[in-house]
Chain A
Amino acid sequence: MNDTDIIELFFARSEQAITALSERYDAFLISVAGELLDNDQDVEECLNDAYFGVWNAIPPTRPESLRGFTCRILRNCAIKRFQANRAAKRWNGYDVALEEIEKVFAAVGSPEEALTAKETGNLINVFLSRQSRQDRILFVRRYYLGQSPAQLAEATGRTAHYICVRLHRIRERLRIFLAKEGVVV
């Protein structure tokens, strides 16, 4: 069953839509949630929350990419749980990714010019729009989905070192971009 068929099932309010979505993207979504959460139980709960979120969102939304759409909802769920875990001093791999990009934001701007999360997000979108497709994908996979350099290396067929160097250059460009915009978070 392809994405269009599954979306039609959602529109028809058929519970089979959840089953079909799960069959199609379960493994992928588990891996995405697994990057943000170490606990299998957390992952499972996030997944259920995400399916429920998709059920609520479709309709009226008709996503262009069901995988991307579900991934976004799952990530939002996972981030909430991730923040709760951090508050309880439970760290995981995504912290490393955040620390990488945190240095970029810490290096620019002044506190008086602090932007809201939405404004910062919009700036990141502008930055991403100016990057090559490959760099944009690497950035999103690393800092949005939390994939490790080793995973990205496996996905691209490159070495982890190559990925780290490339991510470093992307961050450096982001730092310059944010400095020009006078941003501090």
Chain B
Amino acid sequence: MKDKIMDALAYTEQAYIDEAVDTDIRHRRGWIPWVAIAACLALVITAVFLWPRSRILYRSEDVTAEVVAPLSERLPMQSGNGTSIYVSHKEEVLFSENSVILRGTAENVREVRITYVRRMEGRPEISQSFEVFVTLFDLRISETLWSGGKVLPQVVTVGSDWSSRGGPVISQRDIEEGCECIVFARESALIQNDDWHRSSYSDLWVRTGMFIKLTQEGFYIPRSAAWMAQKLGQELFDQDCAFPAEFRESLLAMLRQLSRKHSN
């Protein structure tokens, strides 16, 4: 049979013989593995550089605002006294892109962390940090809280229980315990008169603003952005504030920027 097979192989087409003797059959990797490697590298680069940057909402020398975690709509947040804050975003709001104050849309309602790190002169290994947690959500602010010169921010949202004490109490206990709040809100988010508690639930409560809970000191910023800046600069920052001066200046600068934008 071998002879017959040999004879049969003798009829192999010349083209196949030419191909066999003329072709370099050395295995080469080709371009597909290189493309795959390049794609993986691109993914890594994207993950390392682009994605974290997209989380940064604001950055200056002292202050960085970054997204901590998106909050789902109507995610309940427990305050100190057990009152729930529900996240919602039915309106667009408000603030400039490059300031710490954000434009609230359905896409960027999320928790934000602002980190301030102060390094001691000559002692770079020692640093002091402050963290500010920001959440865009529906809020309601009682203007009456400003009476008497006492800054007492209060925030409620749609769906939260109304306190039997006659007003929103979402951060009341925190405030009483010395943990104050800072609230940025656009003008339309504020209750325009003292009859807020008698007003329509839906008209007054479905508002979007920004709530910043500070660990040491807090401010309440009603009405216009210009007013915010003025109030912050003249009344609050000039007081014996627990914040480092650099942090105050950074925050104030942002508010001034916002103020100019709103004035224009």
Binding site for B on A (CB under 8 A): 28, 63-65, 67-69, 71-72, 75-76, 79, 82-83, 86, 95, 98-99, 101-102, 105-106, 117-118, 120-122, 124-125, 128, 133-134, 136-138, 140-141, 143-145, 155-158, 185
Residue in B5, B16, B23 whose CB lies within 8 Å of A185 = B5
The docked-state distance in angstroms from the alpha carbon of A101 to that of B9 is 11
**Is B11 an interface residue when CB atoms closer than 8 A count as contact?**
yes
Query: A121-B12, A122-B11, A185-B8 known; A83 and B21 CB under 8 Å?
Result: no
Determine if B8 and A156 form an interchain contact, defined as CB atoms under 8 angstroms apart.
Answer: no
Contact for A140 among B4, B20, B27, CB less than 8 A: B20
Question: B240: CB under 8 A from chain A?
Answer: no
Q: A65-B22, A71-B17, A185-B5 are in contact. Are A157 and B27 (CB under 8 A)?
A: yes
CB <8 Å contact, B27 and A71? no
CB distance from A180 to the nearest CB of B (A): 17
Q: Chain B residues with Cβ under 8 A from A72's Cβ?
A: 14, 17
Contacting pair B22 A68 (CB below 8 A):
yes
Question: CA–CA, A63 to B7, complex, Å?
Answer: 22
Q: In chain B between 1 and 42, which residues have their CB closer than 8 angstroms to a CB of chain A?
A: 1-23, 25-27
Q: Are B1 and A68 in contact (CB-based, < 8 A)?
A: no
Are B22 and A121 interface neighbours, CB within 8 A?
Answer: no
Q: Judge whether A137 and B14 touch: CB under 8 Å.
A: no
Name the B residues within 8 Å of A143 (CB-CB).
Answer: 9
Q: Are A156 and B2 in contact (CB under 8 A)?
A: no
Task: Give chain B nearest CB distance to A20 CB in angstroms.
Answer: 18
Q: Given the known A-B contacts A28-B21, A64-B18, are A79 and B5 also in contact in the complex, defined by CB atoms under 8 Å?
A: no
Chain B, interface residues (CB within 8 Å), range: 20 to 34
Q: Name A79's contact: one of B6, B19, B22 (CB within 8 Å).
A: B6
CB distance from B105 to the nearest CB of A (A): 55
Which of B13, B16, B22 makes the CB contact (< 8 A) with A67? B22
Residue numbers in B under 8 Å from A69 (CB-CB): 14, 18
A124 to B5 CA separation, bound complex (whole angstroms): 10
**Across the A-B interface, how many residue pairs have beta carbons closer than 8 Å?**
111
Q: How far is the CB of B15 from chain A (nearest CB, A)?
A: 8
B19 touches A137 (CB 8 A): yes
Are A140 and B10 in touch, CB under 8 angstroms? no
Is the Cβ of A98 less than 8 Å from the Cβ of B2? Answer: yes
Inter-chain contact A125/B6, CB cutoff 8 Å: no
CB of A175 to closest CB in B, whole Å: 13
Residues in A neighbouring B8, C-beta threshold 8 A: 117-118, 120-121, 124, 185
Interface CB pairs A-B, < 8 A, 6: A65-B18, A98-B5, A136-B19, A136-B20, A140-B20, A158-B27
CB of B22 within 8 A of CB of A102, answer no
Q: Assess whether B16 is in contact with A136, with CB atoms less than 8 Å apart.
A: yes
How distant is the Cα of A72 from the Cα of B165 in the complex, in angstroms? 105
Q: Which residues of A contact B14 (CB under 8 A)?
A: 63-65, 68-69, 72
**Those of B138-163 within 8 Å (CB) of chain A:** none
Contact A102 B2 (CB under 8 A): yes
Pair B26/A155 contact, Cβ less than 8 Å: yes
Nearest residue (CB) in A for B22 is A65
Give every chain A residue within 8 A of B15 (Cβ-Cβ). Answer: 64
Docked complex Cα distance between A70 and B228 (Å): 95
Which residues of the other chain, B, contact A63 by a CB distance below 8 angstroms? 14
Contact residues in B for A64 (Cβ distance below 8 Å): 14-15, 18
| Inter-subunit contact B16/A125 (CB<8 Å) | yes
Q: In the complex, A120→B12 CA distance in Å?
A: 10
